[in-house]
Structure 1
């Protein structure tokens, strides 16, 4: 006897049966990555491909909203959701315009900008940074984090230098790998950007870069190559600019390098509106097209998605035979592979956000990244006592540096300002504050005027400085348009907003000045003799004020090293030495005339003394590096060069030093830099502690890119190994020979 059901109950039962049948079919088709190896995943991808219609395949290759792409609901294929990075997960953006969605649960930890991370020279810290930001991306249900950025610091005017890892390809290559691995442990793809030669914001969507193959392979590609071959990143973002007349996002030369030479198996994602051709996007490696119809972060064309180059025009080309079906199948395979690594991977964690662990990582990166550039008469550290009056002067003492900057703008749960950090640290001293100057709000592509009376601010700052024993001037740049911000480059090398005039006036009434430089770029510093100390503090995120206060007070000893050179004047920089044709270009064409001589390579080879060199940074303690040895004098191409030395902390406080090893090839058959960084080791020691540093350099890493046969060559003959703690502070030179 069967139980009786009414019509409503029968409908519910039948619906339940249908849903379970569909789920069963879906699960049979798409097995999640809980127990599949790479071979089984590829089998699953091929099986799914057979079930997809042509329209569904094409729909997966382009955006459906500002930061997502379509899935296929009938097969259980999920959408892909992305977020801007690289130093935090951006607040939620509206579906189809650039306004924020207004969520109340999208606050995050703001980590220090990548220039700061690079300054740490600490690979373990880079891993912790990547893992932490990856956990936050995972908690926010993001599948792709749009970062890190590894474009090379070519000019100090580039508005986005703060997002990158400096001027040296070796340092960037070493630091980016653990960052990627850390992010991807969470089942979130690290999308390394911007591939490639996107080294300025001015004319970024128009400029055509002409650069030699040697410079391309030796300077601008290594960090991307390391990301692919060592970091195993799952995504790469194209760039806005052209290279040899073709846009880099779908460039035949770069496509071959990335997907054929390096065998990259992930997805190439366009920058927002960096695709320009259906044919090139189809044939030269673009897998997912995002943001077309926008100007990057400003205007947008509503409901433009079906008109993307990889949308209806691509579908039409597939239907009429212009493109073989294998072209779209290859793209979809890569997209599905990305899914099995991310949102079809049931093994990935749930993530977390704003945890104490994340804040600790952000604080440690900030403290280790701050660089002490000058410290006359041991101005720092400043000890707290009741008879001390400290004047903290400058808008940057209180201004948010997570707001603005372009796509890297963040919405942190909190942001400790330098003033707050100093006030909380100095309980006995009297801490005074005056803005001194003011600028408008930070907003993309806009400049707002000050809202306060500048003369009054200046007078108040001078008045406060007179009362103080010590002045801490917290100045530099900010995240506004024409400063450290996406969309355009800086317009001046010196300090903006008449800060130098203010500093001059303060100097007249109080000469005991320490300057805290908040920036992601070098600036011109003719006023250096007027300050007793200078700290490069970068953009430090949520824990900014605490990190700065720890360094200023001496609770932490600075150990950061500059990841790029500070030239005395702009014309000393290689990109600017050759004039307008080299930067910013003429009629949208630009020639990298300095070739391989970027940063310290230029300064040292051309004997142009910098203000502060690459790898430079002072400490509150002192180190003795001695007994520097090498394992032998003659090497073959497959050997490793092993350098070891003793290092002892001979000062009174704990500290860390970075031993740096450079290698040069005198009398080379090709143009060479005097020397290039090939190894480093950061060592932390207690006062009086001694240890041994060991640095390994594969001989094949000394190769140059030989343009005559388009491959790498290790030149035989004599080399010089330079060991020191800055590019211009070499403690010992050792001669070696590379033989057959």
Structure 2
């Protein structure tokens, strides 16, 4: 009798090669050999037909392995905020499983707003464990496209407007995911900054903006995070689709950055067999991308990298060199994931993961305005709280496109407040407005029906009535994940709040001065009533524990410490993409603002933002010392260290995010007035003081010279600027580069 199942499995594999137990085990099964050796051995045993099968999908979210050789399938899953529910093999509809309800993590806008690299690692590790438990070996995320316009429908999935911040936050996320033997698939490479006409719009952008703004987070993902896969984007660049783009995939990703991983197409992002062969794509995914009738079942064999490719090989029109390269990369992915017998088993839907999501949500919430210390709510002095707004009861883990989830549970803001406050104060709720009354999203049924028969006049009257005699009014509104809100496939139509919320807020302030607006969104919104509303909180899409996280901050159990990762403009004309008239464009979209994105544009135009990049308040106060440098001059191979003391001058513990910006005082090319080049989140007890240090080298002083196609640091005078935000500057120190 055989001693164990493993022995039986190995002997079955040996027999498939006509071997017996005395023959040598194939190299690709020997995990003591290098991955490159194992890849070459497996490749040498594959037929052309098997190779072709490996580089395109076989179902909505899987691609074939090689059953004859014991090489498993690859299974992908959305997305960056939680593990997507199982769908039918060849359809988008849910498969009806009862054990695939995940923990929904906060959206990446909330993660980036923590400015906490340790939490990014925790996020990646936790979501990677969920993916691994569900036997997914590629997680389709994180997203690091730059926040160019506040109207982009997918901004909520990304990490803000600053390339340095996005780069620093994405690396630990990737490492956390991949510690589980699950590949992170960083998306969408590149220039995917709008949803309007996303499948065909051609982006025209200068090389400086490309390299300085839109590529750094992807470069860090490759060179620092060692991402095992990257997803191409739908749009075009230089007239070529980005999923098979010679410039992005071959020239930059592979040749300049040395990427060794797999390039996966976005679903339906492939449009040409020959370009897909030669321009860097490895795995084709999608639905009905080959021109067949919509809904044709099992069309995968007709994909661009399926029969059309094998036919070209059979006719001698192309060779197999490129095919072998693609398969090598896919095999490498398998050896790092499904064929790594030492990878952990993962865990799913656990309290540990929910607690991680809660911690991230709490640290990501941003206190934008707090006049008269309206927050935190003093429960000892508060008898009645009026909660108004549809978003207080609306599920936000569903909708929004590919990031929609079937969460194990979701605590709404109203539930979280009632749970935390209990009988300490009376909570009265009024809906106030109707946004999206949908109560069933792809099989996920809302706990509270959003159907509404009352008129807007009746809803308004009810809201004003309960607000009038309340001690504090919590208006929980903002956007949602419906079409033309925060939603894949659609851009927003305007900066203002939808569904008549501005008028309702204005009316509420007239009957009660203690109004707190909680903005549930992944985007900036206009606030024409900003001077009348004392409390403003950026609440994001916070996942499973959303309501508990919000309640803990609103009542002061948790001191808010998040800061914005994108600028809130007063009006659209204060944003470069809109000021220069190129959003969303037509067949082409030209990035006329070039490198001046977000706070860089606001600085250049001296436009005062509604709320600045890096802004966020606390329930305590901080005092900054004067920044100092350890030297006055930096050599090309040297480093320079800047130090600043920060003291908690309030009465409770709190965390401050100290930001370092660098300013080039004289440059041969136009440069932003300042650029973020360092940040540190520091926790301080009441009265405690700490010294924060930043060490930089010439890379922090460099710009991309498009004429030389290289990064250049010009000798001359610079300033190191310490700020609590892009507009709240604390001190500066001058230095020079030799």
TM-score bucket of the superposed structures, by smaller chain:
over 0.9
Give the superposition deviation at 1:449: 10
Give the superposition deviation at 1:384: 1.5
Equivalent residue, structure 2, for 1:688: 687
Equivalent residue, structure 2, for 1:314: 309
Q: 1:431 to 1:198 in 2, by over 3 A?
A: same
Give the superposition deviation at 1:115: 0.4
Q: How big is each residue's C-alpha offset from its partner over 1:583-626, in whole Å with a ceiling of 9 and x where there is no partner?
A: 1113x111100000000000001211111110011111011111
Equivalent residue, structure 2, for 1:331: 326
Distance across 2 between alignment mates of 1:195 and 1:130: 20
Distance across 1 between alignment mates of 2:109 and 2:702: 27
Q: 1:301 to 1:720 in 2, by over 3 A?
A: farther
Equivalent residue, structure 1, for 2:464: 462
Please point out which of 541, 544, 550 is paired with 1:548. 550
Q: 1:362 to 1:387 in 2, by over 3 A?
A: closer
Equivalent residue, structure 2, for 1:236: 230
Instruction: Tell whether the 8 Å contact from 2:28 to 2:42 is kept in structure 1 after alignment.
Output: no
Please point out which of 479, 485, 498 is paired with 1:496. 498
What SS does the corresponding residue of 1:28 show, helix, strand or coil? coil
Give the superposition deviation at 1:315: 0.8
Please point out which of 128, 138, 142 is paired with 1:144. 138
Equivalent residue, structure 2, for 1:570: 572
Equivalent residue, structure 2, for 1:453: 454
Bigger mean CA deviation after superposition, 115-124 or 688-697: 688-697
Equivalent residue, structure 2, for 1:173: 167
Give the superposition deviation at 1:294: 5.5
- TM-score calculated relative to the size of structure 1: 0.94
Distance across 1 between alignment mates of 2:502 and 2:284: 45
Q: 1:480 to 1:32 in 2, by over 3 A?
A: farther
Give the superposition deviation at 1:691: 1.4
Equivalent residue, structure 1, for 2:5: none
Question: RMSD of aligned C-alpha atoms?
Answer: 2.1
Distance across 1 between alignment mates of 2:687 and 2:533: 31
Instruction: Tell whether the 8 Å contact from 1:30 to 1:76 is kept in structure 2 after alignment.
Output: no
Distance across 1 between alignment mates of 2:62 and 2:651: 54
1:131 aligns with 2:125: yes
Instruction: Tell whether the 8 Å contact from 1:294 to 1:300 is kept in structure 2 after alignment.
Output: no
Aligned residue pairs: how many?
A: 716
1:261 aligns with 2:256: yes
Q: How big is each residue's C-alpha offset from its partner over 1:489-519, in whole Å with a ceiling of 9 and x where there is no partner?
A: 0111100011112222222222210110000
Instruction: Tell whether the 8 Å contact from 1:275 to 1:292 is kept in structure 2 after alignment.
Output: no
Bigger mean CA deviation after superposition, 695-704 or 644-653: 695-704
Q: 1:186 to 1:575 in 2, by over 3 A?
A: same
Counterparts of residues 165-314 of structure 1 (less than 5 Å): 165-255=159-249, 256-293=251-288, 300-314=295-309
Give the superposition deviation at 1:564: 0.2
Equivalent residue, structure 1, for 2:538: 536
Q: How big is each residue's C-alpha offset from its partner over 1:362-416, in whole Å with a ceiling of 9 and x where there is no partner?
A: 1111011111110000000002137510000000001000010000001111111
Equivalent residue, structure 1, for 2:25: 28
What SS does the corresponding residue of 1:193 show, helix, strand or coil? strand
Instruction: Tell whether the 8 Å contact from 2:106 to 2:357 is kept in structure 1 after alignment.
Output: yes
Give the superposition deviation at 1:31: 4.1
What SS does the corresponding residue of 2:25 show, helix, strand or coil? helix
Equivalent residue, structure 2, for 1:610: 609
Give the superposition deviation at 1:21: 3.0
Q: How big is each residue's C-alpha offset from its partner over 1:57-91, in whole Å with a ceiling of 9 and x where there is no partner?
A: 01000000000001111100110000011011111
Equivalent residue, structure 1, for 2:514: 512
Q: How big is each residue's C-alpha offset from its partner over 1:80-104, in whole Å with a ceiling of 9 and x where there is no partner?
A: 0000110111111111011111110
Gaps of 5+ in 1: 1-13
Give the superposition deviation at 1:720: 1.2
Distance across 2 between alignment mates of 1:719 and 1:163: 35
Q: How big is each residue's C-alpha offset from its partner over 1:426-456, in whole Å with a ceiling of 9 and x where there is no partner?
A: 1210011111112232869xxx996432333
Q: 1:183 to 1:460 in 2, by over 3 A?
A: same
Equivalent residue, structure 1, for 2:405: 410
Equivalent residue, structure 1, for 2:104: 110
Instruction: Tell whether the 8 Å contact from 1:665 to 1:718 is kept in structure 2 after alignment.
Output: yes
Give the superposition deviation at 1:32: 4.7
What SS does the corresponding residue of 1:156 show, helix, strand or coil? coil
Equivalent residue, structure 2, for 1:431: 427
Q: How big is each residue's C-alpha offset from its partner over 1:217-258, in whole Å with a ceiling of 9 and x where there is no partner?
A: 000000000000000000000000000111111111112100
- TM-score calculated relative to the size of structure 2: 0.94
Equivalent residue, structure 1, for 2:445: none
Instruction: Tell whether the 8 Å contact from 2:270 to 2:289 is kept in structure 1 after alignment.
Output: no
Distance across 1 between alignment mates of 2:564 and 2:112: 8
Give the superposition deviation at 1:651: 0.4
Give the superposition deviation at 1:283: 0.1
What SS does the corresponding residue of 1:358 show, helix, strand or coil? helix
Q: 1:203 to 1:317 in 2, by over 3 A?
A: same
What SS does the corresponding residue of 2:362 show, helix, strand or coil? helix
Equivalent residue, structure 1, for 2:4: none
Instruction: Tell whether the 8 Å contact from 1:652 to 1:687 is kept in structure 2 after alignment.
Output: yes
Please point out which of 37, 42, 53 is paired with 1:43. 37
Q: How big is each residue's C-alpha offset from its partner over 1:561-590, in whole Å with a ceiling of 9 and x where there is no partner?
A: 1000000001110000011xx11113x111
Q: 1:386 to 1:633 in 2, by over 3 A?
A: closer
Instruction: Tell whether the 8 Å contact from 1:137 to 1:188 is kept in structure 2 after alignment.
Output: yes
Q: 1:58 to 1:17 in 2, by over 3 A?
A: closer
Q: 1:398 to 1:341 in 2, by over 3 A?
A: same
Equivalent residue, structure 1, for 2:526: 524
Instruction: Tell whether the 8 Å contact from 1:274 to 1:292 is kept in structure 2 after alignment.
Output: no
Q: 1:324 to 1:461 in 2, by over 3 A?
A: same
Equivalent residue, structure 2, for 1:711: 710
Equivalent residue, structure 2, for 1:672: 671
Equivalent residue, structure 2, for 1:643: 642
Q: 1:282 to 1:352 in 2, by over 3 A?
A: same
Instruction: Tell whether the 8 Å contact from 2:30 to 2:38 is kept in structure 1 after alignment.
Output: no
Equivalent residue, structure 2, for 1:11: none
Equivalent residue, structure 2, for 1:391: 386
What SS does the corresponding residue of 2:627 show, helix, strand or coil? strand
Q: 1:578 to 1:320 in 2, by over 3 A?
A: same
Please point out which of 473, 476, 487 is paired with 1:474. 476
What SS does the corresponding residue of 1:530 show, helix, strand or coil? coil
Q: 1:707 to 1:386 in 2, by over 3 A?
A: closer
Distance across 2 between alignment mates of 1:612 and 1:451: 34
Distance across 1 between alignment mates of 2:677 and 2:708: 24
